Structure 1
Amino acid sequence: MTTEESILNKIQILITKHFDTPQEAFEFFDADGDRKLTKREIVKLLKEAEINGFIRGLVSSKLIEGYDKSGDELIDWNEFKAAVAKIKSA
């Protein structure tokens, strides 16, 4: 299993074990309620998914880079859904 697969697997486990739906997870980590996840909020998600602290910042940047289609350096609900769909198919 590659590092990317391992990280995606940990995120999937977090979402399925602790939340009824991906939207519930999104809303939980959207601390300021602006319907977008900031890098800080994504780092919190990664911490909860037990991603090593050393790589959380790098992983959060890569997630934003890979899924931020609007270019605002935030992850909105539709972008989060796309990421979750990729995780489920991995």
Structure 2
Amino acid sequence: MGQKEVILNKIQILITNHFNTPEAAFAFFDKNGDGKLTKKEIVKLLKEAEISGFIRGIVSSKLIEGYDKDGDGLINWEEFKFAIDEISDESK
């Protein structure tokens, strides 16, 4: 399993074990309630998923780069849902 898969798996475990739904996870990490996750909020999610502090900044940038479809530098609910669906598909 590559590093990307390990990270995505940890995120899936966090969401599955600590939240009833992906919506609840999104709302929990969307601290300001604006419907979008900032890089800082994504870093918090990665910390909760037990991703090493050394690579959290890099990983958060890569997640935004990979899933930010509208190019605003943030992850909205639809982009988050797409990422979660992809993570779920990869774990099967």
- What RMSD over aligned residues (CA atoms) do the two structures have, in Å? 0.3
Partner Cα distance (2:23, 2:83) in 1? 12
Structure 2 unaligned residues grouped into runs of 5+ = none
TM-score by length of 2: 0.97
What CA deviation, in whole Å up to 9, does each residue of 1:20-58 have, x standing for no partner?
Answer: 000000000000000000000000000000000000000
Q: Secondary structure at the match of 2:69?
A: coil
Tell me, yes or no, if structure 1 residue 78 matches structure 2 residue 78.
yes
Cα offset, 1:84, TM superposition:
0.1
> How high is the TM-score relative to the length of structure 1?
0.99
Q: Partners of 2:57 and 2:86 in 1: how far apart?
A: 21
The residue number in structure 1 matching 2:4 is 4
Percentage identity across paired residues of the two chains: 71
Figure out how many residues of one structure are paired with residues of the other and give that number: 90
Secondary structure in 2 aligned to 1:70? coil
Return the alpha-carbon distance in structure 1 between the equivalents of residues 80 and 5 of structure 2: 17
- What secondary structure is seen at the aligned counterpart in 2 of 1:33? coil
